[in-house]
Structure formats: structure tokens, C-alpha cells
Structure 1
Amino acid sequence: MTRKQLTLSEQLMHSTVRIECVLGNGSISTGTGFIYYYYFGEVLLAFIVTNKHVVEGAVSFRTRITCADEDLNPLFKEHFIWETSNFERDLVMHPDPDIDLCLVSMIDLVGKMSHEGRTPFIRNLGSQYIPIENELFDGIEDITMIGYPNGLWDQINNLPIIRRGITATHLNRNYNGKEEFVIDAACFPGSSGSPVFLIDENGYNDRSGNIIIGAPRFKLLGILYAGPLTTAEGEITVQNIPTRNVPIARTKVMMNLGYVIKSHKLNDFEAIVAAKYLSS
């Protein structure tokens, strides 16, 4: 066999993981994470990025990774299940309490797979995909979100659910003064932590009206964490995207809008990661 070439979209289907957390009362919540690397010279460290509220109250964290064959092709029906309860070792919280982001280290996961002679098939993201400072976007951009709404996924092939929408606020502005933006897309429980991408595989129109043919554009725009709800009385409240399907008052309805933390906030973890995992 030879290594198969995957399109960008196919590769991105292997950049996310479905998260299951066992809570203190024994119930299970689900969320989305994606694989992100931090580079320190020749050293790279892999993490699962998700929201703080996804792991809040958890006593254990579980996910599954697709295995690769000897040619590094995905073995869709062969998965490695990893679980950890060592949050002091594996969990890194964003230093700002108002930024709903955290990292889960993959050092233990990769080590256990290697010990069993297994190779993970993952497609990582990194800072090279974060928009550069002052990069200009149009007022409305198409977006793609990958995750596990309502905990749904192709469990036989270990593949996520892909959804599309548009930006609902301008990417070059901070929505209500926060380093985030809003998307027009259906955001359900289990979608917390979903990466939001701008993907133009075959070209795009720039802000000057020029048609850029054959030049792909790919950006990690941000991470979904919350969305507004409306009540029968017209009151609008903001709520973290739930991690469980629990009964809510019928008068509260999601507005099919999502609040997204801008991806450059992932850069805030670099110094913390270096101090925790490279200092010894």
C-alpha cells in the first residue's frame, strides 16, 4: 500500500476529537476538542483545545483517536480510547478567567499508543493557521464548523459532523469589545470547543473584487463557546453551549447564533506550556 492523498477537507475531519467527561454525579457530558501543536524549536507539544466549561466538574476525561496503518493511512474502524483523571498533569487553563479556553495535554495519550505499537492518525493545527495581525476580511465570510452537536458523530468511522454558516459580525472588529465574533450557524449541545474555519479550497474573491483562482485560503478563525437564547417575552441571554441534553424551559429558544473566541487567544498559552512541560 501507499500513502493516500487527502484533500484539505478530509484532513480537517481528523483534526477534532469527541470529548466525554464523567461528572461527579456519574452523568456524562460531551463536547468538542481539536488537536493543536505548540512548537519550541525542534520540540513540539500536542494538546486538545476545548472550553473550560466542557471539563468543569469532571472527574475523568475520555476521547478516542483513529489509528494509522504502516503507510500512515487512517484505519477508520480501529480506534484507541484514552482516558485521564490526572487533571493536574494534563490540564492547562487559560490565564484569563473570562476566556473560556483550556488545553488537555496529549503526552500521556501518545505515549500509551506508542507503548501498544499504535500510531495515531491525526491532523494538527498550529499558529501558522491563525490570521495574522491586521489581516483584512470582508464583512461577510463563509465559515465551516466541525464538531459533535448533541454528541452525534460517525462512531463506526470516528468522524465528526461538519456544518456551514456565515460570519454574523465583522472578523476585523471585536464584538462588544471582546476578542470574539459571532457566527450565523446552528450551535447545539456538544458543539462547545468546535473549531471555526474559513476554507476556500479553489480560490476566493478578495475585498477589492479580484477573483483569486486556484489559490486556497485556509484560516483557523476561532473556537465556539457560547450562544444567545431568547425567551417568549423577548429577553435575550447568553449561555455557554451546553455539554449535556438537559430539559430547559420551553420559553427559551436558541437563536442559531454562536459566540466564537478569536483564535489568536491560543497564543496566550505558549509561556504557560513552556514553563509546565519544558522546564524540567
Structure 2
Amino acid sequence: MLSAAEKLMQTTVRLECLLQNGKTSTGTGFFFSFEVDENASIPLIVTNKHVINGSTRGTFVLTKRDDAGEPVVGSYEHIQLDNFESLWLKHPDPNVDLAVFPMAPLLNGAEQAGKKFFFLPLGETLIPTSEVLSGLGGIEDITMIGYPNGIWDIRNNMPIVRRGITATNPKHDYNGLPIFVIDCACFPGSSGSPVLIFNQGGYMDANGNLNLGGTRVILLGVLFAGPQHVAEGEVQTIDVPLQQLSISLSKIPNNLGFVVKAQKLHDFRAQLLARA
């Protein structure tokens, strides 16, 4: 039986894209689902628009599951799809760097071929309501799961977990946009990583009350960008880069990341239901 932490490590997927210019890039996606009713859901992969923009072919890796419904760690399959960018539904707001990939056709095809894959989607119930946000302190420990610099446990198809804190209050819109800032090491390939509050055994609420026992999981948002400064000292805000480029200009991460708020995922529900 998987622990809470082990379950979270089964929520992400490494994305590899072949771009129109012939270069290859990597990014992070995570599994998510909208519940339609008690018997139906819409399974998705969530990432950033800029991760899949300009991609002609995409590849991701899914872990196989056994007849008991458990993951077969180390046994997985590469899924390769052409016209990759066209398979994603992009958020209509240009200020919201989110895109979703409906998984139902892929899963139905796999089932018909006798293949079973294991993944654990994050759900709508993990997106904080205004009431949940009001109960958070200004500074919270955060967990980010993904594939920085494309690094992963290739033998077991496992991601890399990083820890940090909220650098701005997630209750507020940073600079008037539906984003907040985290203090966490954010490197190429981390784009699309889920940013969560993950507490085991206890946590302190905004009023200083200690809550003991149980596990708290809150999906705060999705990493999409971060400020960097160049060697000359100029500060620039850029999309978390997808590629390792041979350039003479040194860009140094500030160990800060910009995160689009998870509430913006709600905006996809109506679009997906209309397509169903």
C-alpha cells in the first residue's frame, strides 16, 4: 500500500517535446481529473502552454499497473504522439499559462489493446476554496514535484521532489495577476510542476493553532516562470526554460518561481464538458 507521499509521486509525468526547429525540450505535467458525477470523471494531464507550444511530436512515460490495481514500479511504456500541440486545450486567457490534455482517448485505446496504466490524478477537491485560503498563513511550506533539467529516476519512472516556502501570500494576486511567488529552486524542466502544501502528522494554521494527526494536501498552483538575473546584474522574468542552450550570456536563477493559481483550472470544466 502506498503512503501519502508515494501517492503524490505518482501524480506527475515527464513530457518530452520535439519542436518545429528540430530541438528537443522537456517539461513537467501532472494528472488531474474533473468529477462529472459519482460514476464518471474527465482525466487530464496539466502543464503550461509554453511547454507544448511549437511541438510536432510529444512523448511521455506511463507506469504499468497490475491486476490488483497497484503500480508495477520499473515497468512502463513510452507514449509517443504526433501533432502534439494540437492535442492540448489551452486556457483562453493569455495571462494564464495553462494547457490540458484529455486522456480518455488514449486510455480507451490502451484498454482495447489490453494495456493498463497506473496514475493518480489530483482532483478538484484539492483546489483551495476562499475559506481554505483564509485559513493559511502568509508563509507556508510547499512541495513541488517535477523533472528539473529533465532529471528523473529513469529506472523507476519517478520524479524529483523539491521543498520551499511561499514567497508571497497565496491569498493575494501578485501584481494583479492570478499568480503567487514561491521560494524554491526552479530549473529547466520544472515548468508545469504542481505546487502543493503537503503536511504529514500536523501543521500550524493561520491563527497559530497546532493541528495534530492526519495529512493535509492542497494544490496551490502550477509553476510556469521565474525571475533570473544575467551576469551583468540585469533582472529578467522569463518562462522557466525548457532547453539547455549554448549561449555566452549567463543567466542565474534567483531560486524564485511564479505559480499560476490552481483556481484557474476550474475554467477548463465548461470547455471540457462541451466537448464530451
Aligned position for 1:97: 94
2:65 counterpart letter in structure 1: A
Is 1:108 the equivalent of 2:105? yes
Mean CA deviation greater in 240-249 or 181-190: 240-249
Aligned position for 1:56: 53
Unaligned runs of 5+ residues in structure 2 are none
1:31 counterpart letter in structure 2: G
Percent sequence identity over matched residues?
A: 45
Is 1:34 the equivalent of 2:33? no
CA contact (8 A) 1:229 1:255 kept: yes
Aligned position for 2:13: 17
- How far residue 253 of structure 1 moved from its aligned partner, in angstroms, is 1.4
Mean CA deviation greater in 75-84 or 228-237: 228-237
Is 1:72 the equivalent of 2:81? no
Q: Distance in 2 between matches of 1:113 and 1:77?
A: 19
Q: Distance in 1 between matches of 2:73 and 2:2?
A: 14
Aligned ranges 1:106-185 → 2 under 5 Å: 106-134=103-131, 135-136=133-134, 137-185=136-184
- How far residue 14 of structure 1 moved from its aligned partner, in angstroms, is 0.6
- How far residue 91 of structure 1 moved from its aligned partner, in angstroms, is 1.3
- How far residue 30 of structure 1 moved from its aligned partner, in angstroms, is 0.4
Note the alpha carbon deviations across 1:191-212, whole angstroms, 9 max, x for none. Answer: 0000001001211111222111
1:235 counterpart letter in structure 2: E
Mean CA deviation greater in 150-159 or 134-143: 134-143
Find the residue that maps to 2:130 and give its secondary structure: coil
1:24 counterpart letter in structure 2: Q
Q: Distance in 2 between matches of 1:251 and 1:30?
A: 20
CA contact (8 A) 2:231 2:251 kept: yes
Q: Distance in 1 between matches of 2:183 and 2:267?
A: 27
Give the RMSD, CA atoms, in angstroms. Answer: 1.4
Q: Distance in 2 between matches of 1:87 and 1:274?
A: 22
CA contact (8 A) 2:33 2:122 kept: yes
Q: Distance in 1 between matches of 2:59 and 2:200?
A: 33
Q: Distance in 1 between matches of 2:120 and 2:139?
A: 28
2:58 counterpart letter in structure 1: F
Q: Distance in 1 between matches of 2:81 and 2:236?
A: 34
- How far residue 88 of structure 1 moved from its aligned partner, in angstroms, is 7.6
Is 1:8 the equivalent of 2:4? yes
Note the alpha carbon deviations across 1:227-278, whole angstroms, 9 max, x for none. Answer: 00113443211100011111344443111100000100000001111112x2
CA contact (8 A) 2:14 2:28 kept: yes
CA contact (8 A) 2:56 2:85 kept: no
CA contact (8 A) 1:90 1:106 kept: no
TM-score, normalising length from structure 1?
A: 0.93
- How far residue 181 of structure 1 moved from its aligned partner, in angstroms, is 0.6
2:49 counterpart letter in structure 1: K
CA contact (8 A) 1:80 1:113 kept: no
1:145 counterpart letter in structure 2: M
Q: Distance in 2 between matches of 1:64 and 1:194?
A: 16
Q: Distance in 1 between matches of 2:22 and 2:245?
A: 15
Unaligned runs of 5+ residues in structure 1 are none
